[in-house]
Structure 1
Amino acid sequence: MLGGMLSITFLQFLPLPVAIALAVLATMAIGAGIEMLFIRWLKQPGILRMIIITIGLSILIRETALHFWGANVRSLPYFIGNEISTIAIFGARVSPQVLWVIGTCGLMVLFLNIFFQTTSIGREMRACAANRVAAVLCGIDTRNMVTLSFILSAGIGALAGAVMSPITYTQYDIGTGLAIKGFTVAIIGGLGNSLGAVGGGLLLGILEAFSVSVVPLAFQDAIAITILLVILFVRPHGLFGSSAVAGLKEF
């Protein structure tokens, strides 16, 4: 939501690429500020406490956005063409903006894999996710790693929100529904498995598309919640995740 809204605001004064880049940087700064102000000083917080805090922060951000931008629906312009522009691919007509979304998703997955596999900071972040106590014993500053994870996730979310804005439109409370679907996709793919998350997203999208003729549009969001509950009960580590790897993670 912040990525899309900030991009729309900056677009009034700046070209589209610069507006999106500035919105991503601003959202990353907000993510860092949230971690340092509300998360960093907690003493060994439990999972339930962290969930409650983050839900409260999301409500605060949503209400702040409502007062700042209002309840009107907004959107960025299509990067190429307009809402009726299509490209023929294997006999199907696809919006160019959909290709932008797919391409951006692919680049982000590639970046994350390279970052976590080849850079020292990425490996340190993986170590903190696996076992924070062991990471501290190895000399890793876990507090900074948590801050970096907030910055990275905020930047990715902001870029995704900006690229999707022409298709999904942007409103102060749109992040709630997308967050539920995003969490569902992460669970389906297995937490920490970026390629699995892409597969989970495609699976969820296909199920939602084919369910239009069966499930009323008002209940489309219930599909994601139902899938989430089923996966959590039947296979908590996800369809593409490993139970052994999931057992190593503290969260």
Structure 2
Amino acid sequence: MAMQFYASPEQVQRDRSEYARKGIARGRSAVVLTYEGGVLLVAENITTLRKISEIYDKIAFAAVGRYNEFEALRRGGVRMADMVGLSYDRRDVTARALANTYTQTLGAIFSETQKPYEVEICVAQVGATPAADELYRITYDGSVMDEPGFMAMGGQAEAIGNVLRDRHDPTAELTVALSLASEALGSIGGENGQPRQLTDKQLEVAVLDRRRPGRAFRRLTGAALTTLLGHEAVSDADLGEVDAAPPAPAEGKPTESAASEDTEK
């Protein structure tokens, strides 16, 4: 008769944690930090798949790890935010509520399924002042932390976080904050431990701009990003645009189908 293999709950949890951490460590890192004009989100990313996205008017999402898993979490967050905003009020959609939902979801997946999610995510909300900005880090096991103005995610988060901790300034301008974020991400991964110089082709960058009414999320690409990385300021008009909204219905689009007309006869 075959003997069933037994592992203590503590051992199972340790194995799942190790599995998730190894998966996250294989990916490239991301940082989120506050600055004078809002919240800056920067990820090392050489693909067209996005690690940084808009969730709602003043809320953004950043993640590292397995893409298909954090993309499913992002889409779920967008659906929840839309439902709350439509059912109650747009002001009722908060980063704290989204972070609580992600905590419950990831905690249940970690405890109840055989394979945990290999993800680490940040939910950020821009406030009227730097002191009112909110950054929440949610890890693979559902743990949540309220970060004090900056955070790093990924396999080398501790080393990157040390760079941010020494030099982060919530009153800094965007060019200074972006330079710090790029330098922090480039401080690891070079040959023989040497720092790397990251270019606009290697970075995905977005901001939550506190000065803009309505949707605060702006994605920085192209000439604007190149200019900012060169330590030159960019006007608000050239800062970037929101992600594309769903297209409006085409003019003259039929409201009834031929099939419905045939059914009525």
Structure 1 length normalisation: TM-score? 0.27
Q: Which has the higher helix share?
A: 1
Considering fraction of residues, name the structure with more strand.
2
- Higher RCO (CA-CA < 8 Å; seq separation 6+): 1
Normalising to structure 2: TM-score of the pair? 0.26
For the pair shown, which has the larger CA radius of gyration, 1 or 2?
2
